[in-house]
Amino acid sequence: MYEEYSKQSLPSREYRELLGSAICVFNSNNAFIIENILKNDRENRFNWHELIDYTSGELSQPIKETITRTTDTKITTGFSEVIEMRNRIIHSFQITDEDGKQILATKRKNGEQFIITEEYLYDFIKKNGELSELLHEFRGY
């Protein structure tokens, strides 16, 4: 598929919309994680200007020092899971599938390759929703 703004072949609009939604829900949770870190930073060690520049993976230590210190590891585990899924999306490559359509594929560090299907994206969005619920519950309002 082509668009007037790009001469490069693109996946379907529906797939790109789902991909965009996946990135948006992750970004929302990333910001929500930072909000919860700052709210629970008793020593005032962290600030928004620094945390917003951290990669998502670099937030794991501030999470442990603030969020996990006062609750279980569900938020840490959930965030780690969506980070890994997000990394597979961001570090993907475009292929032409068996039906001649453009889609993204990726490779895990162990060499396993797979297609980023719509189901994968829906699962990613669902897991981000579950994480968001945990973060809302932890925040308390």
What does the pLDDT look like over 32-83, one tens digit per residue?
999 999 999 999 999 999 999 999 999 999 999 999 999 999 999 999 999 9
The reply to whether 107 falls in a domain is no
What's the pLDDT score for residue 140? 87
Domain that holds residue 131: 13-89+118-139
- The verdict on residue 40 lying in a domain is yes
Interval 79-108 mean pLDDT:
96
Task: Give me the number of domains the chain comprises.
Answer: 1
Beta pairing, strands 113-115 & 102-107: antiparallel
Residue 5 lies in a domain: no
- Pick from 53, 49, 50, 51: nearest CA to 36: 51
Answer yes or no: is 41 within a domain: yes
Look up residue 36 and give its two tokens: 């919860």
The string of pLDDT tens digits covering residues 1-25 is 666 677 678 999 999 999 999 999 9
> What integer pLDDT is reported at residue 8 of this predicted model?
75
